[in-house]
Each structure stands twice: as C-alpha cells, then as structure tokens.
Amino acid sequence: MRSTGFRRTLIALSTFSLALTGCGGSDDGSAGGKTRITVNCMPPKSAKVDRRFFEEDIASFEKQNPDIDVVAHDAFPCQDPKTFDAKLAGGQMENVFYTYFTDARHVVDINQAADLTPYVKELKSYSTLSKQLRDIYTADGKIYGIPRTGYSMGLIYNRKLFEKAGLDPDKPPTTWEEVRADAKKIAALGGGTIGYADYSAQNQGGWHFTAELYAQGGHVVSADGKKATIDTPEARAVLRNLHDMRWVDDSMGSKQLLVINDAQQLMGSGKLGMYLAAPDNLPILVKEKGGNYKDLAIAPMPGGKGTLIGGDGYMFQKKDTPAQIRAGLKWLDHMFLTPGKGFLGDYARARKNDAPVGLPEPRLFTGAADAKDQQIKKANANVPVANYRTFLDGNRKLRMKIEPPHAQQIYSVLDGAVSAVLTKKDADIDQLLKEASGKIDNILARG
C-alpha cells in the first residue's frame, strides 16, 4: 500500500500523475532531429511549487542535453490502478513511466518492460543506489527499472506524552512488549489520551498487520507466492498483542475501525502516544493536523526482525528505441538520482520554499553517495533531525520486505481479522487466522 505523504512537501509528486490515455511516446523517438521522450508523474498545476521545480529541472536538463526533448505528462494520481494495465496492454504508456515497487514483476511478466541491462552502465548513479531497491526491478538477472524513492515503516511517537507518562523520549520501545507497557502508561494519563492506535478498515488494517508480522519475523505468503503463511505463531502474536492492548489494557481507546486520517488527527492533536507509519507522515501531522515537529519523533519498527518497505521507480516502454532508453536514463540521473540535486535532492531550494528538510527518508543511496546526500540534507535541515536518530540508526539493520503479491486483495482479507480482535473481546484468533489463510490461498491460486 502506498504510504500517505511519503516525501516532504517538495516531493509530493509521488501522489500525482499518470499521463492521459493515448499519450504514448513516438514510434521512433525523434522530433526535429532530437530524441524525444515522454515521461509521467509531473506535479499538476494545482501543486504550484512542485510544478515549478519540476519544470525548472526539465529545462535545465534540456539545456545541458540539447539533443533531447522531454515531454512531461501530469494527471492524478501518478499511477491509477484503473487505467494502468489498459495503458500497458495498449502500448499507450509513456517512454519512461512511474511504477510502485509492487508493479515491477507484473510489468515484466506481461512483457511490457524494456530490458535496461545493456544500457544501465550509462546511468551514472546506478551503482550508488541501495541494492535492496535495485533488486526490486531485477528479474532473472535482467534490469527492468530504476528505483526513485523508498520508504520503510517505523513507530511515530509523541515525545511530550512520553515525558508526561514518565517515559524517556530518547529511548522509544524496541519490542512489542515495551510498546504495550508504554501504551498503558500513556493511556493512564487520562483526558481521552490513547496509548497506541492502529488501522482496521479500508484495507489499511491488513497493510499494518503485514508490517507488524514482518516485524515479528513472519511472512504473509510463501517465498514462491503460492500459499498463505499467516496461520503461525508470529501472526497469532500480532493479533494477541492488539487484542490485549485493546481489551486487557484499554490503551487503544474505545473507537475502532480507524484509518490513517484518524490516527493522524489524534497524533496531531496531542492525544495519541504511538502509531505505525513512515516518515512522510511527519509533515502532514504538522502542516495539516496541528502537530509540532519538536514533539514528534520516529523510531524503528519494534521487534527488530523486519520492516515493510515501499516506494516507486521508473520503467521503460517495451517499444522504446535505444536512443530513448539512453535519454531516459540521463533524465533520471538529472532529476532524481544525484545526491543533493534535482527535484528530490535540492535541499537548499526546498528550504527556501518552506518545505521540510531533514526527514530521515527517502534514503536511496549507499556509501559515499549516501554520505554526501545526508551531509547536504543536514546542512539545510529545518526540522529536529535528532528526533529521527534512532530510526536512522536502527531501521537499516532490519530485514526489508516489500508488500505481498495481490496486496490489496490480501489486505482486504486481513482487515477482517484485525477489525475482529479490536471490536470483539471474545474473538477467536486461531479461527480468524485459519479462515484468512484459506481465503488468501484462493487469491493466490487464481493468480
């Protein structure tokens, strides 16, 4: 599932734009002697600052590469599930098109992605990108896409409430037992304060169940993607912990069937101690929900065994010419993949336009490139980076796992299990997992 708000305000384009149907690239990629490429995920005109930055960066790219003509398309959202497959099948996708991590294998399986392997050495940044993210776009030893951003789940918490409850805000919980104990102390503050909140509707409960299962070291489906793997001790531990916080400790409040906006409202208003989310939530909590950066922090996923990751990247249309592929790779380097520069990395420009700089993600690079990117980010930071130190130090030690295949269908099934334990005191956890496992097996069998 897509994370809500996952880039700083400057990077809000990730929730925007697939090109309008019928706007695919030219057959030969030539336009007036230039190589012409179409690209998508351009911020719409309503996002004035992001739109201006995107246009500025395309203009500077074309100035540096006068033999390349870039035609950008905007629409909402960047990738619309209702039209994505139809555009692929009809050959109407842009030359360089946006995808979620979970799309990569599907696009390859239906033979709609260009093989970038012979050309990727021309992408200057490729070797600097996280291997975990590069591997998402690699299949059978061939490279079919380039990651652009990545996020991982963590524990957002309210430092002020931690202090009021007698907890050390610099030492957030690292185990689910500690989460439960801390949530109980925070809820005991009274006045409608909730220790821990979780989603349980609109497929978001299944999404968080998956994240919590990864944190316990479990899996939703088998490695071959053919069977459910949720009728397990790890999955029972997830549901038992939620049940006990809700019914034994009364630390989750009486209102359930929450979705992400509910948790954000509670956290922004200072009434919630903890909830799971990615760092992208932080600017939303401040700009839209009334929160304050100094009171908000994020820690790694409790449990220490894994975390759910998501993100996006670009793939290339099957019909692209070699010249278009080379031009598209140059464009990606310029726009997104150079530390401290471009649409996602020009932190000085972002700060001048009052966008948050210093959030712990996205974090795309490794080695010297990562060090350079972090150094430039720190120099321009306008948020309390110390509040994210435990996340930065701890999350990269966790096993990173993307969402399961057929994620939304599976999440819908798991919603039922999560909502049951949060709304029914006598919910039968073993039976819930057995039934959910059977339903997921049927989804996987249908392919």
pLDDT in tens, 15-72: 333 333 334 444 456 666 899 999 999 999 988 999 999 999 999 999 999 999 999 9
Say what angle helices 48-64 and 322-335 make with each other, to 10 degrees: 130
Token pair for 339: 């530390």
Can you give the pLDDT at residue 4? Answer: 45
| pLDDT surpasses 60 at 10 | no
Can you give the pLDDT at residue 362? Answer: 86
Distance, in Å, from the CA atom of 18 to the CA atom of 398, rounded to the nearest integer, reads 33
The mean of the pLDDT values for the chain is 92
Can you give the pLDDT at residue 410? Answer: 97
- Note the pLDDT tens digit of each residue in 318-366: 999 999 999 999 999 999 999 999 999 999 999 999 999 999 998 899 9
Can you give the pLDDT at residue 80? Answer: 84
Local structure of 346: helix, strand or coil: coil
- Note the pLDDT tens digit of each residue in 286-326: 999 999 999 999 999 999 999 999 999 999 999 999 999 99
| pLDDT surpasses 50 at 399 | yes
Can you give the pLDDT at residue 15? Answer: 34
pLDDT band at 6 (very low <50, low <70, confident <90, very high): very low
What integer is the mean pLDDT of 112-138?
96
Q: What is the CATH number of domain 9-151+309-379?
A: 3.40.190.10
Beta bridge partners of 313: 99, 147
Can you give the pLDDT at residue 8? Answer: 33
What integer is the mean pLDDT of 178-206?
97
* Radius of gyration, CA atoms only, the chain: 22
Token pair for 338: 């150079």
DSSP class of residue 109? H
DSSP states of 261-293: HHHHHHHHTT-EEEEEE-TTHHHHHHHTT---G
What integer is the mean pLDDT of 270-275?
98
What percentage of the chain has pLDDT greater than the value 70? 93
- Note the pLDDT tens digit of each residue in 70-87: 999 987 788 887 889 899
**In 3D, which of 136, 158, 163 has the Cα closest to residue 147?**
136
For residues 163 and 89, the model is more confident at 163
Amino acid letter, residue 302:
P
193-231 burial, b for 16+ CB within 10 Å, e for fewer? bbbbbbbbbbbbbbbbbbbbbbbbebbbbeeeeeebbbb
42-66 burial, b for 16+ CB within 10 Å, e for fewer? bbbeebebbbebbeebbeebbeebe
Q: What is the CATH number of domain 154-277+406-446?
A: 3.40.190.10
**In 3D, which of 142, 135, 133, 131 has the Cα closest to residue 109?**
142
Q: What are the start and end residues of each CATH 3.40.190.10 domain in the chain?
A: 9-151+309-379, 154-277+406-446
